[in-house]
Amino acid sequence: MSKDALVIGGIELRSRLFIGSGKYSSNSLIPQIVDRSGAQVVTVAVRRVDLASEEENMLNHIPKDCVLMPNTSGARNAEEAVRIARLARAMGCGDWIKIEVISDTKYLLPDNLETLKATEILAKEGFVVLPYMCPELMTAKRMRDAGAAAVMPLGAPIGTNKGLRTKELVKIMIEEIDLPIIVDAGIGKPSEAAEAMELGAAAVLVNTAIASAGDAVGMAEAFSLAVKAGRMAYLAGTGAVKNFAEASSPLTGFLDKAVSKK
Amino acid sequence: MSFYDVLQKYDKNVVMQKIQSVKAEDVTRVLAKESYSPEDYMVLISPAASVYLEEMARKAQQITLQHFGRSVVLYAPLYLANYCVNNCLYCGFNVHNKIERRKLGLKELVAEAKSLSSTGIRHILLLTGESKKHSPVEYIKDCVKVVSEFFSSVSIEVYPLEEEEYRLLVENGVDGLTIYQEVYDEKVYEIMHPGGPKRDFKFRLETPERGCKSGMRSVGVGALMGLADWRSEAFFTALHAYYLTNKYPEVDISLSIPRMRPHAGSFEVPSPVDDRAFVQILLAARLFLRHVGITISTREKSYFRDNLIGLGVTKMSAGSATEVGGYVEKRGDGQFEISDDRSVEEIRQMLYSKGFQPVFKDWQYI
């Protein structure tokens, strides 16, 4: 195992950038996005998987060495999420499942209570459960206790590209929960992905910011570099933030020199 | 309180006056906002806003891209029966129109479904005329069961039903309901619907809400543009969608702006909607209702449809037949005349060429 490994569901991941598969102009772009982003984990909406269509089935466009993370997009409650998860497994999408329960089509905010219920059921069934949630410490702890493999708080409402607006709450989750915290949704720019990683997030999941960029493939690489930079900065330990400027050559340094010259 | 009560609070003349009196500065002020109220929507459909279509289009494009990505969901209608007891003045299925009346038997339906699904279509919309005798709920239920084998999402556009009847259909595999009010002006509604159960304006108006309560995943509303002044009709249609999104946030509400097309019979469209007006309605709806799906049918011409992609449209019909049994054999007595007769494959290629992904499957019956 390498020194700074992220292990989820027993798999040592080579990239801390997770990507989505929706919103692209064509599924045939996905291999290029995977290649340039270096991403290994790709999330796929089960509702969009069409096993009957050779050309339009997006699973056929995801490189075989990727880890599939099917998601329960479209589920409005725990029961529907559980049914979609089981369907994903039956389709041959593996055991990973990102639980996404949204009962609010206006702001598209996840329903934490229903997500927790689905986490409890699916973890018992042996799924590698990654719940997508509104950042809230107590619910995240309950998800951990229920057997979640990681917790995925949103940075801002999905698709908004507004960045890490929930920073304080995510920071507390990183400090308090001994599970990988993956910032999912809202990250709009590579600098914001780096910010999440500097904070200590285990990974970030990006879709809209890449898919809606002028050059999606170029943006995928930019995110890859930003996530690496953010992670390196976190490991290196960023310096303390101070209220006043502090010169590299201290103003009172002469006092020490004066003593030594005597 | 239902949407009927909401509608009573609005005096159509006052609404029209407000829309007519909007000034250019109101439009620029509203265009700078991030979220909109119904009052703002009035500004966007005003005559003053009609010279700001380019600015509105830029904003609508950005919102559409952000919320729906570079993709358009494709679906096709499948007509089960054209028996109808209503005599809506504008409709080809009008009880007095001398067309061949037909109803698909379940075996014929299998053939239709096979033919349609072989084109790649996965989302289907089942339609009937209004006839409890020829197409009762039990018949619709049996049809739903048949087509569920071939399609991953089944929606219905049939005569208004009771909540319990919708629930029965949901339990048997229906996930979407489309029901157009046709016209929100109650007086015009009475003129357009001189006979049959469809005369009941209030029962029809409250139908989308019964659908929401029954567990439908998606519910679509719309007005038949051309029956009354388009500005007020566009306003009340969007207000209806707004009301439903606020009251039933768990349901995907969508909006359609079907324009009157020629059909069997000789109906003159009272208030025709030109292309600029159509685009203004579409853009204003996208700005006002950011997350709401917008559907464009094959009533519109191919050139026009192609250019609307990216400006707010999220769902399109493709390869449509509007006659009973039309996927196996074309006869030419559909509900309305199709203006875009391209095949599913041609629509697919057109979307790719415009940098958009055709999405055939966006739901899975669970």
**A6-261 falls under which CATH superfamily?**
Aldolase class I (3.20.20.70)
Q: Note whether residue B334 is domain-resident.
A: yes
Given an 8 Å threshold on Cβ–Cβ distance, is A47 in contact with B362?
A: yes
In chain A, residues 133-172 whose CB comes closer than 8 Å to chain B: 159-161
pLDDT tens figures, B230-254:
999 999 999 999 999 999 999 999 9
pLDDT, residue B262, reads 59
- CA-based nearest residue in chain B for residue A50: B361
Chain A residues with CB-CB distance to B362 below 8 A: 47-48
Residue in the structure block whose two tokens are 């992670």: A231
Residue B31 lies in a domain: no
**Vertex B176 angle, CA B171 and A133, to 5°:** 90
Would B346 be classed as within a structural domain? yes
| CA separation, residue B12 to residues B186, B201, B229 (Å) | 10, 16, 10
Torsion of Cα atoms, B224 then B230 then B234 then B235, to 10°: -140
Beta strand pairing status for A6-8 and B357-359?
unpaired
Q: Which two tokens stand for residue B278?
A: 């159509």
pLDDT at B336: 67
Please report the pLDDT score of residue B152 as a whole number: 93
CATH number, domain of B153, equals 3.20.20.70
Please give, rounded to a whole number of angstroms, the shortest distance from the CA of A37 to a CA of chain B.
19
Which residues of chain A neighbour B358 with C-beta distances below 8 Å? 56
Q: Which residue has the tokens 């048949």?
A: B146
Three-state SS for chain A is CCCCCEEECCEEECCCEEECCCCCCCHHHHHHHHHHHCCCEEEEEHHHCCCCCCCCCHHHHCCCCCEEEEECCCECCHHHHHHHHHHHHHCCCCCEEEECEECCCCCCCECHHHHHHHHHHHHHCCCEEEEEECCCHHHHHHHHHHCCCCEEEECCCCCCCCCCCCHHHHHHHHHHCCCCEEEECCCCCHHHHHHHHHHCCCEEEECHHHHCCCCHHHHHHHHHHHHHHHHHHHHHCCCCCCCCCCCCCCCCHHHHHHHHHC
The two three-digit tokens of residue B296, written as one number: 């464009």
Task: Please indicate whether residue A242 is annotated as part of the active site.
Answer: no
pLDDT digits (tens, 9 = 90+) for B117-159: 999 999 999 999 999 999 999 999 999 999 999 999 999 999 9
Domain membership of residue B230 (yes or no) is yes
Contact B295, B316 (CB under 8 A): yes
Interface test with A, best of B71, B148, B243, B350 (most A CBs within 10 A): B71
CB contact under 8 A, A25 and B70: yes
B70 Cβ under 8 Å from any chain A Cβ: yes
- Which band of pLDDT confidence, cut at 50, 70 and 90, is reported for residue B335? low
* Residue B232 three-state SS: helix
Alpha-helix runs per DSSP H in B266-329: 275-288, 302-308
Q: Is B66 contained in some domain?
A: no
Average pLDDT of adjacent 10-residue blocks, chain A of 262 residues: 82 94 84 93 91 79 91 94 94 93 89 96 97 96 96 89 92 94 93 95 94 90 96 86 73 70 55
From residue A12, give the alpha-carbon distance in Å to each of A16, A81, A206, A236, B156. Answer: 11, 26, 20, 21, 47
The structural domain count of chain B equals 1
d(CA B322, CA B334): 5
DSSP alpha helices (H): ranges in B149-185?
A: 163-171
Please tell me which of the candidates B65, B120, B253 has its beta carbon nearest to residue A56. B120
ipTM of the complex, rounded to two decimals:
0.77
Q: What is the pLDDT of residue A250?
A: 74
B71 near A CB under 8 A: yes
B186 domain residue, yes or no: yes
Best residue of A47, A84, A210 to probe chain B, by most B CBs closer than 10 Å: A47
Closest residue in chain B to residue A27, using alpha carbons only:
B357
Q: Looking at the domain assignment, is residue B28 inside a domain?
A: no
Give dist(CA A252, CA A78) in Å, integer.
63
Q: For chain A, give every domain's residue range.
A: 6-261
Asked if the C-beta of B68 comes within 8 angstroms of chain A's C-beta atoms, the answer is yes
B74-78, B193-197, B265-269 — which one is most confidently predicted on average? B74-78
Catalytic residue among A23, A64, A98, A171: A98
Give the number of other CB atoms < 10 A from CB of residue A65.
8
Domain around B334: 3-8+73-276+316-359
User: What's the rounded mean pLDDT across residues B86-105?
Assistant: 86
Spatial CA neighbour of B90 closest among B277, B256, B229, B261: B261
